[in-house]
Structure 1
Amino acid sequence: MTTRKIVVSALVSALAGGTQLAQATDVFRLEGFGAISRGMGGTAVAHDVGPAGMMTNPATLSLMPDGDQAMIGLDLVTTDIKVTNKATGESVSSDTHSNNRGPYVAPEAAFTKRIGAWSLGVGAFAQGGLGTEYGNGSFLSRATGGLATGLDNSSRLLVLNIPFAASFQVNDKLTVGGSVDAMWQGLNLDLLLGADQVVSLIGANRATGSLVGVLAGIPGLSGAHFSLTKDKFLASGVDAWGYGGKLGMLYKATQDTTLGASYTLKSQMNDMEGGATLTAVTAGGQIPLTGKIKIQDFQMPSHLDLGISHRLTPQWTVAADVSRVFWKDVMKDIKVAFVADAGGDLNILLPQDYKDQTILSLGAAYALNDSLTLRGGLRFASQALRSSTLFAVIPATPRKHLSAGFTYAFSKQAKLDFAYSHAFKETMDNTSLPNTSAPIEVTHAQNNATLNFRYSF
């Protein structure tokens, strides 16, 4: 088999293969795509980051060398998440208590082709996600009154993006690009709400439906537990397909300075649907109700990205991006609709009330020689989550990152890219109903390693 056939075969396998989720670091979004971008703080709007550029600014595909290029790779993410009960001092760490939780692995695969002024590409990338696993024996699994339930508290969100991208070089200075993206997202969730949380939701008119009266009428109700989880490598309790897209441009201001801009459209995802179990918890036992559940209108946000790159010397390149992510438009509430097999329905609005987020990314690259390029970067983001609506199972709080990476060229055709990114520990408290019963403190830090292999032909 020729080298070209081997590379193409590996790419197809990666596109079709399964994966676990990646723990996102800009809320539910990864902080960069591909090891080149990740090693430079996630900058990708105005410089060549290889085929992964189609995930941020499709116009950057025109910055790549002439010819075809294939890329395969993966992210490996390890998290350090701890939740502390501030009233009792108890704590629990997110760990591998089940088959489909961390360390998390996400795919990156793409193929690009240059045809004259056109550059075309297709890829498959984990756009982001979330993952926690607290087991079933911590204080998070105790209902109101201190009743131990033995029920899990965990989460797993995966968002997969499959862009079909194109870039067109209008003239020596201007390039435009865009993509149409197929998107898939899946969610596993195990969540225990204490009776006080249930009462708070009902009192705020955030819990409606015929099952509200049923739950309220159960003697000695201590809590309610939702379980919509498949303990599989990729399968999720609820999932949905949808689409999105991006528009981008580049402008070569000088021979050494390039300006870039891109806009990612708000996703258009169908409701995530699947089977679930709602369990009423009492001191006398547990009453499970099986049924169908929908997570309604769960979307990824639009965002605007502006960037600049400048070649200081033939060896040194620096880049900076500023992004505005419009979380407020998509994460006001998590909308849950449950219909029991035996009859009855329950609709819940779990408050989130995210804020729009501003992100500054800084990166630098140094070409040590023809074979080795070194990179480094920083990334700073404003906090999108509010402490009053923080869930222990959704601790998407990190906002400061330090990264480093390199590219090693085995030849002009074959290159290996590596990046390491560290998300510094972020701490957030929540003492407010309905999203927590006990006053909690959540700390979250993580490490991310990204490895890509690129081959040009």
Structure 2
Amino acid sequence: MKQKLLVAALVSSGLVSPLAHATNGMNLEGYGPIAAAMGGASMAYDNGTAAVMNNPATLGMMKGDAQLDVAVGVLGPSITAKAGPMVADSSATAFYMPAVGYARRSGQLVYGAGVFSQGGMGTEYGANTFMAAGSGQNVRSEVGVGRVILPLAYQVNERFTLGGSVDYVWAGMDLKMAMPAMQMAGLATGGSLLPGLGAAVGAGATWGRVDFSDSSAFTGAAKGSGYAFKLGGTFKATDKVTLGATYHSKTSISDLTSSAALSLGNAAGVMQNIVGSISVHNFQWPETYGLGMAVQATDQLMLVADYKRIGWKSVMQNFSMSFTSAAGNVNFVLPQNWSDQDVFEFGGAYRMSDALTLRAGVNIANNPVPNSLMNPLFPAIGKSHETVGASYAFNPVSSLHFNYVYMNKVTATNAQGVAVDFGGFSSQLLYSHKF
């Protein structure tokens, strides 16, 4: 089992890894164990400091003057690639995720800070599997995005709260990708090295590789950063019904850059190996619209429902990168053509006693990745999830929250006949203290 450390902590910690196996495209299905236990629904009720990732306006519902949340989570994806009788299991099966968040009230204002892992993708296949394309080296991917978030919520009156945040966004990527040499030449769109790629194929090259990786559990080799913002609001329509809405802007992340190597070879060994640098162009996180409702059906039972529209289409049309070296340059474009994603989140919370609350929910979404273009290194094809969780209050200021998400297995087959099975689970445990 390969273990990766994913850290979402306060800015001062400096220990942050944005990588995650995500399940709504590249997003996690829920942020924070309270929301994640109810299918990810989070627009219209108090779900702790995870509000900075969900709807910042719900920070206005915080009880007490201040709140500190400390969590640890685990993501356990199960990914298998198949091509006829050949099978490759991804060894990236355990991802650990500590988290910390803080918020404070001052009159009608609530402010705070947080650092959160947004999501991403990642796999690792062995050197002796068909995914290595005969290169004799392992292949892997790590893609992650994280945010440093500064939120502010303002309670306009007893019914209406507005919120927003300014987000510093960073992205990291590792890629050790192998493919048939002819396919690599076909993905090249120009550059002075392009004739050389064709010549290598003509001379007997059967595989090609692009490699950039720092093998770190905390960062990707190719790095970029930028900014985004969120807006949100909640409205208490009646004493029992609260409505919520949010807008997350598209990011403005710089190109991701790293040292890299481009190589071609055949069964006899490496024919060409060129060292240079790589730039991944216009890798962005999409805008998201969210609407939700929370209904306090009885004193014990709360029901919640959210809808999200995630704009993958505008940011995942192509995966574009440029390789530059002293010997020349070449550009690659891998078509993606993702569609926008509709996510439906439903859940409920039942207060068994003053101390114990039980939760359950479902998260249902369409797969935004076209089957024909699905890459086994980036299988963001999850669709449906069942969620459960619980909270236990030790006293009025200290409580423990837990959730478990089961990711139903989904299978997609691309135009080359490679099928991927994707499933698994995720879980979080969070301690919350109010001041």
TM-score range, shorter chain: over 0.9
1:178 partnered with 2:164: yes
**Are residue 210 (structure 1) and residue 184 (structure 2) matched?**
no
- What residue in structure 2 maps to residue 254 of structure 1? 238
For 1:61 and 1:15, locate their aligned partners in 2 and report how far apart those are by CA, in whole Å: 23
Bigger mean CA offset, 104-113 vs 174-183: 104-113
Distance (whole Å) between structure 1 residues aligned to residue 345 and residue 10 of structure 2: 32
Contact 1:22-1:105 at 8 Å conserved across structures: no
User: Structure 2 matches for 1:37-52, cutoff 5 A?
Assistant: 37-52=35-50
Aligned runs of 1:92-171 on 2, under 5 Å? Answer: 92-95=88-91, 101-142=92-133, 148-171=134-157
- For 1:157, give the aligned amino acid: V
Cα distance, 1:33 vs. partner? 0.8
> Aligned ranges for residues 351-390 of structure 1 at < 5 Å?
351-390=335-374
Q: Which residue of 2 aligns with 1:73?
A: 71
Could you tell me whether the CA contact under 8 Å between 2:39 and 2:386 is conserved in 1?
A: yes
Q: Which residue of 2 aligns with 1:198?
A: 184
Q: Shift of residue 121 of structure 1? A: 1.7
**Deviation, structure 1 residue 12:** 4.9
Ranges in structure 2 where 5+ consecutive residues have no aligned partner? 1-7
Single out whichever of 10-19 and 365-374 deviates more from structure 2.
10-19
Give 3-state SS (helix, strand or coil) of 1:59's partner: helix
CA contact (8 A) 1:165 1:180 kept: yes
Tell me, which stretches of 5 or more residues in structure 1 are unaligned? Answer: 1-9, 96-100, 143-147, 433-438
- In the other structure, the counterpart of 2:4 is none
Q: Percent identity?
A: 32
SS at match of 2:59: helix
Distance 1:275 1:199 in 2: 21
Q: Is the 8 A contact 1:20 1:105 kept in 2?
A: no
For the 8 Å contact 1:211–1:346, the answer to whether it is kept is yes
* Number of residue pairs matched by the alignment: 425
CA displacement, residues 161-216 of structure 1 (integer Å, 9 cap, x when unaligned): 111000001111111100001111101111112123124325xxxx2111111111
Tell whether 2:228 aligns with 1:244: yes
**Pairwise CA distance, 1:281:** 1.4
1:8-45: CA deviations, max 9, x gaps? xx975884224473210111111111100000100001
AA aligned opposite 1:126: S
Confirm or deny: 8 A CA contact 2:103 2:111 kept in the other structure. yes
Alignment partners' CA distance in 1, 2:432 and 2:171: 27
CA distance in 2, matches of 1:16, 1:102: 25
Could you give the per-residue CA deviations for residues 221-256 of structure 1, whole angstroms, max 9, x where no partner exists?
212101111112213120111111100011110001
SS at match of 1:394: coil
The residue type equivalent to 2:182 in the other structure is D
Matched with 1:3 is none
Rounded to whole Å, the distance in 2 between the matches of 1:310 and 1:254 is: 9
Structure 1 residues 418-427 or 16-25, which shifts more?
Answer: 16-25
Deviates more, 1:102-111 or 1:354-363: 102-111
Instruction: Give runs of aligned pairs for residues 219-238 of structure 1, distance below 5 A.
Output: 219-238=203-222
**Counterparts of 1:74 and 1:328, CA distance in 2:** 32
Q: 1:30 aligns with which of 28, 31, 36?
A: 28
Conserved? CA contact 2:391–2:401, under 8 Å: yes
* 1:304 equivalent in alignment to 2:289: yes
- Verify: 1:317 aligned to 2:302, yes or no: yes
Cα distance between partner residues in 2 of 1:122 and 1:13: 8
Matched letter for residue 121 of structure 2 = L
2:116–2:146 CA contact under 8 A, matched in 1:
yes
Task: Give the residue type in structure 2 aligned to 1:243.
Answer: Y
Q: Quick one: distance in 2 between partners of 1:451 and 1:291? A: 43
Match of 2:87 among 75, 85, 91: 91
Which residue number in structure 1 is paired with residue 56 of structure 2?
A: 58
Aligned to 1:4: none
User: Structure 2 CA distance, aligned partners of 1:276 and 1:172?
Assistant: 56
- The question of 1:431 aligning with 2:415 is answered yes
State the partner residue of 2:421. Answer: 443
CA contact (8 A) 1:14 1:109 kept: no
Question: Partners in 2 of 1:400 and 1:44 — Cα distance?
Answer: 17
In the alignment, which residue of structure 2 is the partner of 1:6? none
Distance 1:304 1:12 in 2: 26
Distance 1:337 1:11 in 2: 33
Distance 2:186 2:174 in 1: 24
Q: Distance in 1 between matches of 2:12 and 2:390?
A: 23
Q: Is the 8 A contact 1:335 1:350 kept in 2?
A: yes
Secondary structure, aligned partner of 1:197: helix
RMSD: 1.5
| Amino acid corresponding to residue 154 of structure 2 in structure 1 | F
Normalising by structure 2, what TM-score? 0.95
Once residues 105 and 11 of structure 2 are traced to their aligned partners in structure 1, the CA distance between those partners, rounded to angstroms, is 23
Residue aligning to 2:277: 292
Q: Which amino acid aligns with 2:199?
A: G
Whole-Å Cα distance in 1 between the matches of residues 131 and 208 of structure 2?
13
1:400 aligns with 2:396: no
What is the aligned partner in structure 1 of residue 5 from structure 2? none
Question: Under a length normalisation based on structure 1, what TM-score does the superposition of the two structures give?
Answer: 0.90
